[in-house]
Amino acid sequence: METDLRGLTRAEIAAALVSLGEKPGNAGAVFMAVHRRGATDLALLPNVPERVCRALGRAFSLRPLQLPERKLVAGDGTKKLLFRFSGDAPAECVVLPAKGRDTACLSSQSGCSCGCTFCATGTLGLKRSLDPAEIVAQFEACRSEAADLKSLVFMGMGEPFLNWENVKRAILILSDSRGRHFPQAKMTVSTVGVIPVIEELTGSDLRIRLAVSLVAADPELRARLAPMEKAYPLKRVLAAVREYCRARKALVMLEYILLPGVNDRPSDSALLAKLIEGIPCRLNLIPYNPPGGPGAASPRIKEFQRELLDAGVLVYLRQEKGADIAAACGQLAAGTGLK
């Protein structure tokens, strides 16, 4: 199958033009035609010479921008959009409204191979990684549903760093000044701790923000809840994060999902505070959302926060949205007939 031009960065389009014997200088016009002018036919790219269109048409396809199959709207205005990508690969994205400063939460994979026990996506296993055009399609759908889209998080289905090349392409496409020009500084990529990509980001030009899901401070408990701990132990993940913060003079966002009776004891908060000591971070406590819908948050959530604040940690409670349509953290793929 021919490569979809919609999934290529501007630099990749320029390289493709060179290999087709054309001038790379047309890449900007091609990129703009596809990503800003909504071109759907490679033979008719606005402001692109006919000869270049013909050359591209021999080597590439331009598939239509995919649209969501279904939309659910929660009582709080959160919208969940369900896509069904080719090869029966469902994926969901979410628009989180916040008084004109909406956030889109995108999926990087259909399902996930990481198997975190508290996460509905993890129970699906991995169907497949999404390509850049499929990630861009989610963005476009969220953009048209949002009042004013101001930030983007890769916290939907999948582990973005296990599909990093495609996620990186999507970031470059979405932030390109000839396309949507969405600021990289308003994009956050969340990982459960894939160290090689954290190390790559440390030395990269990308201006995106990094979020790391801690899950548990105790290694044995973490290994039970998030099997990724076996490949990338949290202590080593946090060593890579310290270096990331030092080299980039950046703050990292740390996330801790609070599982009632599992990782919310006073000993857990004490261990957690010690583990992240000295890391320039903001810690978000996330109430656990059972896969089926809204459930009881940890009764200790406020105390847990207080214990961390007393230990000098900058910690916030994440306001959960969309739990009644299974759109909150850890719920994607639950109750939607995806399996």
Q: Which is nearer to ligand SF4, 82 or 119 (CB)?
A: 119
Q: Answer yes or no whether residue 126 interacts with ligand SF4 by CB under 6 A.
A: no
**Pairwise CA distance, residues 30 & 10, whole Å:** 8
Q: How many residues does the chain have?
A: 339
Q: Which stretch binds ligand SF4 (CB under 6 A): 47-55, 112-120, 129-137, 139-147?
A: 112-120
Which long-range contacts link 260-263 to residues 24+ away (Cβ below 8 Å)?
260/288, 260/296, 260/297, 260/298, 260/299, 260/300, 261/298, 262/216, 262/221, 262/225, 263/215, 263/216, 263/217, 263/218, 263/221, 263/225
Angle between helix axes 301-310 and 266-275 (nearest 10 degrees) is: 40
What are the φ and ψ backbone dihedral angles of 292, each rounded to 5 degrees?
A: -75, -15
Beta strands in the chain (DSSP E): 3-4, 60-61, 70-73, 79-85, 89-96, 102-105, 109-111, 126-129, 149-154, 187-191, 209-213, 252-258, 281-287, 315-317
Q: Answer yes or no whether residue 212 interacts with ligand SF4 by CB under 6 A.
A: no
DSSP state of 312: T
Q: Is 92 a catalytic residue?
A: yes
- The answer to whether 159 touches 196, Cβ cutoff 8 Å, is no
Write the interaction track for ligand SF4 spanning residues 164-193; mark x where CB under 6 A is met and - where it is not: ----------------------------x-
Q: In this chain, which of 119, 217, 238, 272 binds ligand SF4, going by CB under 6 A?
A: 119
- The answer to whether 10 touches 176, Cβ cutoff 8 Å, is yes
Q: Answer yes or no whether residue 97 interacts with ligand SF4 by CB under 6 A.
A: no
Q: Answer yes or no whether residue 258 interacts with ligand SF4 by CB under 6 A.
A: no
Q: Answer yes or no whether residue 122 interacts with ligand SF4 by CB under 6 A.
A: yes
CB of 56 to ligand SF4, least distance (A): 36
CB of 190 to ligand SF4, least distance (A): 8
Residue that has been written with the tokens 């590439």 in this structure:
60
Q: Answer yes or no whether residue 116 interacts with ligand SF4 by CB under 6 A.
A: yes
Q: Answer yes or no whether residue 208 interacts with ligand SF4 by CB under 6 A.
A: no
CB of 3 to ligand SF4, least distance (A): 27
CB of 28 to ligand SF4, least distance (A): 35
Q: Answer yes or no whether residue 112 interacts with ligand SF4 by CB under 6 A.
A: yes
Spot the catalytic one: 12, 22, 92, 229: 92
Q: Which stretch binds ligand SF4 (CB under 6 A): 24-32, 79-87, 157-165, 170-178?
A: 157-165
CB of 192 to ligand SF4, least distance (A): 4
Helices vs. strands in the chain: H and E counts, helices first: 12, 14
Q: Answer yes or no whether residue 90 interacts with ligand SF4 by CB under 6 A.
A: no
Q: Is 2 a catalytic residue?
A: no
Q: Hey, which residues are catalytic here? A: 92, 329
Q: Which positions lie near ligand SF4, rule CB under 6 A?
A: 112, 114-116, 119, 121-122, 157-159, 192
